[in-house]
Amino acid sequence: MIDPYLLEELATFANTGTLAKTAEQLNVTQPTVTRGMQKLEEDLGVKLFDRQPNHIKLTKTGQLAAQEAVTLIQANKQMIDKVRNFDQNQREIRIGSVIPGPLIFLKNLLSPETKNRQISSDLIPADQVVTLLINNAYTGIISNQELTSPNIDSQYLGTEKLAVNLDKFMYHANQSTVSFSELENLSFIVLSDIGPWRDIIQNEIPGAKFLYQDQREAFSEITKYSDFPYFSSSLSKSDPSFTEQFKEDDNRVRIPLGDKDAQMKVYFNYLKGQKRRVSPIIKRIKRDWPH
């Protein structure tokens, strides 16, 4: 078996191109790297380096070995991360989401019983859901996609419905519903981390301008002292700060959006081996999901 530190030295040399830079990056002496590379050649029984006076470079075989070393180093790291994540998942439940609303809803729903639970407040990129589940980074991940595979199951939780909060003197504020097209050319205050809702509002509202805010506090202040419309959803009322803000704001009217794309089906995705652990949470979410 090849010692991992020899593989790391080889991969680093392939990246830096010199023994001196390899030693510097790994925080060892150059003779240490030289001995390590010689030992690696002995262990493999092949010539990895073309040694010339004052110059050394990888042979074709050495280049292949370096590529394989990088692959093994990455696999080793993934194994370590997967085992550590699995161990953490045995001690606490970690839930992520690609959509912010369900996380806020879930956090407040389970707040009286969060002992031995951790509800992640991080939004997860949609293209990483499967990888994060397989690597045991999360016990379950909420998304707008129903995932099914030999290892993953999904359960439908409910539908999140989008609404817009308009100045009460605007024409549309007198309507029972409003469409995306009727909001054309308006400027909106929007939180930056809204997951797939971001693409939807940008694609569906012609000529609109979106003033994105990274901080919830800044968002609240701007909406409080301006007339810019902003979005909320059927899950927003589970956020105490939002509910309080809306009660104090008597200048706006909340109007549901009637478009099909303003309704997003939400699913709870999990590894099949985690079904027993997540079933009580899924049941609780379904029971209290706003309709």
Token readout for 175 is 């309507």
Max avg pLDDT among 24-33, 78-87, 199-208: 199-208
Where is average pLDDT lowest: 98-112, 180-194, 227-241? 98-112
Per the prediction, the chain carries an average pLDDT of 87
Q: What is the pLDDT of residue 120?
A: 56
Three-class SS of residue 128? helix
Name all contacts of 180-188 with Cβ < 8 Å and 24+ positions apart. Answer: 180/204, 180/205, 180/257, 180/259, 180/261, 180/262, 181/205, 181/206, 183/208, 183/229, 184/208, 186/229, 187/211, 187/228, 187/229, 188/164, 188/228, 188/229, 188/230, 188/231
Tell me which residue of 168, 140, 177, 159 sits closest to 259, measured CA to CA.
177
Work out the average pLDDT over 223-231: 89
Assess contact for 146 and 267: CB atoms under 8 A: yes
pTM of the model: 0.69
Burial of 47 (0-12, 13-18, 19+ CB in 10 A): exposed
Q: What is the pLDDT of residue 97?
A: 93
SS (H, E, C) 27-90: CCCHHHHHHHHHHHHHHHCCCCEEEECCEEEECHHHHHHHHHHHHHHHHHHHHHHHHHHHHHHH
Q: Is the pLDDT of residue 196 over 50?
A: yes
Percent of the chain past pLDDT 90, that is, above it, reads 41
Specify the CATH class of 160-263 in words: alpha beta
HSE-CB at 222 with a 13 A cutoff on CA atoms is: 17
Tell me which residue of 98, 105, 200, 94 sits closest to 144, measured CA to CA.
98
Pairing of strands 209-213, 187-191: parallel
When the candidates are 3.55.50.30, 3.10.129.10, 3.40.190.10, 1.10.10.10, the CATH number that belongs to 89-157+264-288 is 3.40.190.10
CATH fold match for the domains 4-88 and 89-157+264-288: no
**Confidence category of residue 115, pLDDT binned at 50, 70, 90:** very low
Handedness of CA 31, 36, 42, 48 (dihedral sign): negative
Three-class SS of residue 106? helix
pLDDT in tens, 122-178: 788 889 999 999 888 888 999 999 998 899 999 999 999 999 999 988 888 889 999
Domain ranges of the chain: 4-88, 89-157+264-288, 160-263
**Confidence category of residue 89, pLDDT binned at 50, 70, 90:** low
Work out the average pLDDT over 184-201: 94
**Confidence category of residue 121, pLDDT binned at 50, 70, 90:** low
Task: Give 245 or 234, the one with higher predicted confidence.
Answer: 234
When the candidates are 3.30.300.30, 1.20.120.850, 3.40.50.300, 1.10.10.10, the CATH number that belongs to 4-88 is 1.10.10.10
**Confidence category of residue 116, pLDDT binned at 50, 70, 90:** very low
Q: What is the pLDDT of residue 52?
A: 86
Task: Give 274 or 78, the one with higher predicted confidence.
Answer: 274
Tell me how far apart the alpha carbons of residues 243 and 241 are, in angstroms, rounded to a whole number: 5
Three-class SS of residue 213? strand
